[in-house]
Structure 1
Amino acid sequence: MKIDYGKIKFNRKQLGITLILLGLMAVMISGGEIFKDKLKEVALMEADMNIMKDISNDQPKVSFSVPEGWDVSAMPYTSNNLRYYSEYTSRENTINGYVKVFISEEDVLEMIKRDKIVIKASYRLEDYKTEMVKIGDSNANLVSYLFYNENKEGFVAKEYYLMDKKNLVKMCFYTSKDSYKDNMLIAFQTILESFRIE
């Protein structure tokens, strides 16, 4: 059977609208990536974290980036399953935290449960929640909560747990409740995205 293409009728109006919609979708998809990068840049600038410095360690080979004004100190450790430990503090001392790398085949959720028990024994907790977040190409567990010290000062905690081969990376950020801004979350995730271990 032979088809005579000269007799097939196209609804030009529908075809035109379809092509315009496809073009707009392509622009939105490519523009979304540009917008996401600009949003990240603005959030880092607002949080005064737009200029980063590299931190590295030789044994084990660890590297990550933190804002330029932050102090980072490698900490001594005695645990057999701890490969790396360092603490960091922002210039104004409004953000404190640490990164620990464990040699572990333990389930991440089990470690999160154990850590929660330890924290609850020392502090009053509020708004405790755990969620899965995307960090670069990897998934991480983000534990967020508000806690109060003995002087009733409130702090926002953001703790990330990320499995990397047989290494469990725990990167934490603690900010005074009064100083915390939502755009800091983008900055914290940017720091975690820069983390590498060999």
Structure 2
Amino acid sequence: MKVIIINRKRLGVTIIIIGLMLVLFSLEKNFDARLKFTALIQNNINSLVQYEALDKKFTYKLPAEWSTKEQKFPGNEIIYHNDFNTKDLKIHGFVEVWNLNTDLKAFLEESKKISSEQNLYKSYEIKPIKINNKDGYLVEYTIITSNNKDYKGYEYFIKNKDKFMRFSFFVSEDNFKESMPTIFKTIVQTFNYKE
């Protein structure tokens, strides 16, 4: 017969630590939502307006203060395009839906190759992401324009069967704030695509 000796002091400390870890884990979810809300408020974004496209199959939200202009393109690759910019023109970009059934990573690598022949990049990184349970990529880069200004680009590419959504955000490095990537991700997370 084995005798098990329990160190009550050590057991008590272990239980307290596990309890604190569980409390912190549950608070982290609440903190993340508040952090996003704070980032929006700090950048004078008070409310989001929902946009609908492709017979209401594709929805997303943009800040109410931003102006938008929808464009049509010939062909059937880009089936939706909406340009946007802030009132002060510090942030601009667009939202697109592509009708392109190809490997997204290969598409991005080929796009980078073509773009590198025309543009000078200071930095360029492709990261795998998961947004709303859909796989995709975040392409972060800094580009040097012809008038020697640095622009940061944050482009989200999210795969959805034979289509992909593209959310592109551009801001000059002079106007860039650390909270902007949080704002961009929060906007991208508002999308919904129904087949």
TM-score of the pair, normalised by structure 2? 0.90
Q: Which residue in the other structure is 1:151 paired with?
A: 147
Tell me if 1:197 matches 2:183. no
Equivalents in 2 of 1:116, 1:64: separation in Å? Answer: 26
The two structures, once aligned, show a CA RMSD in angstroms of 2.0
SS in 2 for 1:170: strand
Paired residues of 1:160 and 1:172 also in contact (CA < 8 A): yes
Tell me if 1:131 matches 2:127. yes
**Following TM superposition, by how much is the alpha carbon of 1:84 offset from its aligned partner in structure 2, in angstroms?**
1.1
Paired residues of 1:49 and 1:187 also in contact (CA < 8 A): no
Paired residues of 1:102 and 1:169 also in contact (CA < 8 A): yes
Q: Which residue in the other structure is 1:113 paired with?
A: 109
- Which string of whole-angstrom CA distances, capped at 9 and with x for unpartnered residues, describes residues 131-176 of structure 1? 1233233332111111122222221111111101221111111101
The structure with the largest alpha-carbon Rg is 1
One-letter code of the match for 1:157?
G
| Structure-2 change in CA distance of 1:125 and 1:9 (3 Å) | closer
| Structure-2 change in CA distance of 1:134 and 1:86 (3 Å) | same
Paired residues of 2:48 and 2:63 also in contact (CA < 8 A): yes
Equivalents in 2 of 1:49, 1:134: separation in Å? Answer: 25
Q: For 1:71, which of 67, 73, 79 is the aligned residue? A: 67
Tell me if 1:95 matches 2:95. no
Equivalents in 2 of 1:49, 1:140: separation in Å? Answer: 26
| Structure-2 change in CA distance of 1:53 and 1:60 (3 Å) | closer
Q: For 1:59, which of 52, 55, 68 is the aligned residue? A: 55
TM-score of the pair, normalised by structure 1? 0.88
Structure 2: tracts of 5 or more residues without a match = none
**Following TM superposition, by how much is the alpha carbon of 1:14 offset from its aligned partner in structure 2, in angstroms?**
2.1
Q: Which residue in the other structure is 1:17 paired with?
A: 13
Structure 1: tracts of 5 or more residues without a match = none
Q: Which residue in the other structure is 1:40 paired with?
A: 36
How many equivalent residue pairs?
194
**Following TM superposition, by how much is the alpha carbon of 1:28 offset from its aligned partner in structure 2, in angstroms?**
1.0
Q: Which residue in the other structure is 2:182 paired with?
A: 186
Equivalents in 2 of 1:136, 1:101: separation in Å? Answer: 16
SS in 1 for 2:69: strand
**Following TM superposition, by how much is the alpha carbon of 1:49 offset from its aligned partner in structure 2, in angstroms?**
2.7
Identity over the aligned pairs, expressed in percent?
A: 26
Tell me if 1:167 matches 2:163. yes
